Amino acid sequence: MSNLLCVGTAGMSVWFSRDNGDTWTRPYIESGLYLEARVWALSAHPSRPGEVLAGTDSGLYRWNEGDQKWTHLKSVLDDYDIWSMAQAPEDPDTIVVGTQPAGIFVSTDGGKSFTAAKGAFAEACIFVGKPRVTQIIFDPIDKDSLWAGVEIDGVHRSTDRGRSWKKVGQGINSEDIHGLSVVIKNGRKLVYATTNRGLNVSRDNGETFSFQELDSPWQYTRTIVPRADRDKTVFLTNGNGPPGSTGRLLRSRDHGVTFEDAKLPGTLNSTPWTVATHPADPKLIFVCSNLGQLFRSTDGGESWTKLPREFGEVRSTIWQPLS
């Protein structure tokens, strides 16, 4: 089985590897995407091997592995930076996109058209000027529910497939939301939110959150991702800021209740930023630091290898099997 590993960068477009990170290619501008595009978000659906969606600073693009081409999906999104997106697990043509300035848009026709969702989002951010939707996820239990994190405007929830949104999350220690995850423990839902001030958890479907202090030199957190087999393993990226000068990948073996150092090898150059996992092979995991270091595990996160390739600023990482 061959895999397609994709890394989206802030200024060097998308890089591809077809040998699990050993060698890399970056398609030139003839492929259809500007060679120095800023790519904030990537998405791939398991029912469509070889197809990748890229959210950029110039709209939404779709990669076709067969002809090695990007297609620009022209829409209202061309006027926004696309910072996050998710495809419905049972329907790859349902695409929910988060933007900067903060807004959420929904397509049910594979990206041919988008409709603005109903919702109210902050219009100003002290850190990045205009707020942005940093992550969108589908709820693993309720297919009509979605979650969105906004930097800086807290946690928002939809119960109608993304068409309308309501702000939730009373008690969260910061509204600077970086990442979200829904973890199922003994049949109960835990909603995690990562922020500039640390990890927060909700046990009442996002209505309220409480701070969960980490045993770490820093509380800054970025990405929280359950391993694709959803056993009990959850990965959390942790460091000393954005981009930071060092950090750690943390691993939980109990659905995120406690965390330990996953021990990425060598000296990190910045905060770990992205985690890529896939149900086709839950033991194969990739982690990137914000400033481009790349790590691979083939045993589910028990051990790690630092790969020689380093990128510039990394914003998104995914992998998918090609067959």
Output the pLDDT for position 139.
Answer: 97
Q: For residues 290 and 292, what is the distance between their CA atoms, to the nearest angstrom?
A: 6
pLDDT tens per residue across span 185-243: 988 999 999 999 999 999 999 999 999 999 999 999 999 999 999 889 999 999 999 99
Provide the percentage of residues in the chain whose pLDDT is more than 70: 100
Provide the percentage of residues in the chain whose pLDDT is more than 90: 95
Cα Rg, the chain, nearest whole Å = 18
User: Got the DSSP string for 85-119?
Assistant: EEEETTEEEEEEEEEETTEEEEESSTTS--EEPB-
Q: For residues 198 and 219, what is the distance between their CA atoms, to the nearest angstrom?
A: 4
pTM: 0.96
The answer to whether the beta carbons of residues 71 and 111 sit under 8 Å apart is no
pLDDT at 281 > cutoff 90: yes
The answer to whether the beta carbons of residues 89 and 95 sit under 8 Å apart is no
Count other C-beta atoms under 10 Å from residue 202's C-beta: 22
Mean local confidence (pLDDT), 8-30: 96
CB within 8 A of 82, min separation 6: which ones?
Answer: 40, 41, 55, 56, 57, 59, 60, 97, 98, 99
User: Got the DSSP string for 274-312?
Assistant: EEE--TT-TT-EEEEETTSEEEEESSTTSS-EEEEEE-S
pLDDT tens per residue across span 129-170: 899 999 999 999 999 999 999 999 999 999 999 999 999 999
Give the least confident one: 107-111, 162-166, 186-190, 251-255. Answer: 186-190
The answer to whether the beta carbons of residues 122 and 132 sit under 8 Å apart is no
Q: Estimate to the nearest angstrom the gap between the alpha carbon of 10 and the chain centroid.
A: 14
Output the pLDDT for position 1.
Answer: 66
pLDDT tens per residue across span 34-43: 999 999 999 9
Residue type, 79: D
pLDDT tens per residue across span 57-79: 999 999 999 999 999 999 999 99
Q: Strand, helix or coil at 24?
A: coil
Output the pLDDT for position 15.
Answer: 98
Output the pLDDT for position 195.
Answer: 98
pLDDT at 127 > cutoff 80: no
Residue type, 243: P
Task: Tell me the pLDDT of the chain averaged across its residues.
Answer: 96
Q: For residues 83 and 42, what is the distance between their CA atoms, to the nearest angstrom?
A: 9
Residue type, 177: I
pLDDT at 262 > cutoff 90: yes
Q: For residues 175 and 209, what is the distance between their CA atoms, to the nearest angstrom?
A: 11
The answer to whether the beta carbons of residues 55 and 83 sit under 8 Å apart is yes
pLDDT at 124 > cutoff 90: no
